[in-house]
């Protein structure tokens, strides 16, 4: 086990893993824009026309020539002639002439001749004819000009962007009801272990239900991948090798959750080494939970051996599986982990030189947020179910004292 003992820092291990992945050419598919939420845009989207396409009012009020309002105040209002109303949803043909004002609604087309809009509450209409204006407006005040949002041929959404509701709205503003997105990478998921049985099976003494396949499948879906679960594999090198090779040939990425013993971890590493070069890049990562992690790239395809216990597997998947899926999707966006500053409620120890990820229960009170650490054994899944955030302790820190303000990442 000498290779296993060479624990690598998680950041360095992740960088090595990503650097050894070739540029992945994701296949594209065209889908309804409304179905594209959280998908990755396959190609740059350029504005086919300006937005807005006509000058529009941002308020309810009166379209005017701004020069006609200069010097207007409550004590000395400007008096303009009310000249009608700009219809909504139609081309406005009536012009605003000097000394005139036309009623306009929010989003309505600015009439020809007008160059500003006075807000309704800053006016008073007398006898349906004379409009008093109590505040002057400047050129283009309360107006959005043609192309003020985007110009024709502007790059408005770059390729690699994860599509959010706002992108869907932006695409629809151009009538783009169909959009090209990158296909989800297929991620093969295998669980191994003589003690593992399907979740629907009643375990016998000494057996446990397989939850890694389902939790990893959910994480892959959440990360943008397409999970492909395989049957549970016994701790047998030939059977494991055949199953891993099948998944390797059929998928874009392979995840293997190994048994808990050192021998099964070595067995998994030996099987992965046979898949291609450069092979295993890291066999052991200096992080808790999740030290027995295998990171590999085999002939350009990522293969990750996850710890058998579910909490460790989930933590490691967050550190390594998510970034790899993002690279396979050609995601160009920066990664932002939502975090909150909270006061730690208990001392948390840590070993120097090792990163720790500690589940915490985040709660709010009159004096802000508090984070209660959950002290757990790494194979107990409901310790993580009860948590709603993770406290990250850096490798050069030997612990955090109760009362300290810490940053926690939301789960």
Confidence of residue 4 (pLDDT cuts 50, 70, 90): very low
Confidence of residue 221 (pLDDT cuts 50, 70, 90): very high
Q: Assign domain 56-144 one CATH number from 2.170.190.11, 3.30.70.3280, 3.20.20.70, 2.60.40.10.
A: 2.170.190.11
Q: Given this structure, which CATH class describes domain 339-410? A: mainly beta
How many CB atoms sit inside 10 A of residue 377's CB? 9
pLDDT at position 365, please? 84
The CATH classification number of 28-47+158-182 equals 3.90.105.10
Q: How far apart are CA 170 and CA 182, in angstroms?
A: 19
Report the chain's mean pLDDT, rounded to a whole number. 89
Q: How far apart are CA 64 and CA 100, in angstroms?
A: 7
pLDDT of 260 above 50: no
Q: Assign domain 2-27+184-328 one CATH number from 3.40.50.1010, 3.40.980.10, 3.20.10.10, 3.40.1010.10.
A: 3.40.980.10
Q: Find out whether 116 and 65 touch, Cβ atoms under 8 Å.
A: yes
What are the structural domain ranges in the chain? 2-27+184-328, 28-47+158-182, 56-144, 339-410
Q: How far apart are CA 163 and CA 141, in angstroms?
A: 33
Task: Identify the H or E element spanning 314.
Answer: helix 310-316
pLDDT at position 52, please? 95
Percent share of the chain, pLDDT over 90: 62
Q: How far apart are CA 198 and CA 229, in angstroms?
A: 12
Q: What is the 3-state secondary structure (H, E, C) of 370-400?
A: EEEECCCCCCCHHHHHHCCEEEEECCCCCEE
Token pair of 406 as six digits = 């810490």
> Which range is most confident: 47-61, 199-213, 253-267, 283-297?
47-61
Token pair of 317 as six digits = 């998947």
Distances (CA, A) of 306 to 29, 113, 213, 225: 31, 69, 11, 17
């Amino acid at each position: 086990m000498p290779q296993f003992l060479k624990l690598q820092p998680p950041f360095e291990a992740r960088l090595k893993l990503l650097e050894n992945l070739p540029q992945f050419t994701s296949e594209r598919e065209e889908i309804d824009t409304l179905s594209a939420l959280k998908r990755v845009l396959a190609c740059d989207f350029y504005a086919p026309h300006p937005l807005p396409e006509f000058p529009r009012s941002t308020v309810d009020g009166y379209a005017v020539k701004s020069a006609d309002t200069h010097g207007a105040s409550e004590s000395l209002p400007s008096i303009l002639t009310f000249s009608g109303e700009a219809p909504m949803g139609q081309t406005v043909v009536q012009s605003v002439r000097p000394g005139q004002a036309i009623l306009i609604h929010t989003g309505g087309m600015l009439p020809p001749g007008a160059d500003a809009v006075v807000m309704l509450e800053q006016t008073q209409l007398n006898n349906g004819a004379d409009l008093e204006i109590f505040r002057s407006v400047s050129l283009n005040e309360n107006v959005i000009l043609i192309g003020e949002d985007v110009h024709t041929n502007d790059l408005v959404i770059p390729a690699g962007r994860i599509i959010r509701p706002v992108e869907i709205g932006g695409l629809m503003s151009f009538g783009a009801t169909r959009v090209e997105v990158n296909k989800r990478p297929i991620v093969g998921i295998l669980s191994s272990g003589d003690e593992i049985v399907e979740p629907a099976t009643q375990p016998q003494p000494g057996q446990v239900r397989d939850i890694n396949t389902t939790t990893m499948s959910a994480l892959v879906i959440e990360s943008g991948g397409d999970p492909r679960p395989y049957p549970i594999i016994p701790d047998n090198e030939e059977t494991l090798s055949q199953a891993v090779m099948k998944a390797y040939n059929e998928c874009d990425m392979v995840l293997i959750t190994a048994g808990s013993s050192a021998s099964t971890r070595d067995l998994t590493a030996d099987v992965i080494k046979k898949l291609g070069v450069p092979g295993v890049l890291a066999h052991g990562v200096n992080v808790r939970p999740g030290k027995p992690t295998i990171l590999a790239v085999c002939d350009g395809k990522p293969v990750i051996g996850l710890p058998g216990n579910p909490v460790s597997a989930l933590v490691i998947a967050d550190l390594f599986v998510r970034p790899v899926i993002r690279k396979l999707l050609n995601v160009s966006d920066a990664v932002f982990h939502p975090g909150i500053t909270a006061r730690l409620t208990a001392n948390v120890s840590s070993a120097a030189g090792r990163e720790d990820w500690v589940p915490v229960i985040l709660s709010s009170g009159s004096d802000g947020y508090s984070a209660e650490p959950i002290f757990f054994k790494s194979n107990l899944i409901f310790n993580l179910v009860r948590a709603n955030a993770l406290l990250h302790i850096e490798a050069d820190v030997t612990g955090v004292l109760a009362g300290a303000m810490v940053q926690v990442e939301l789960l």
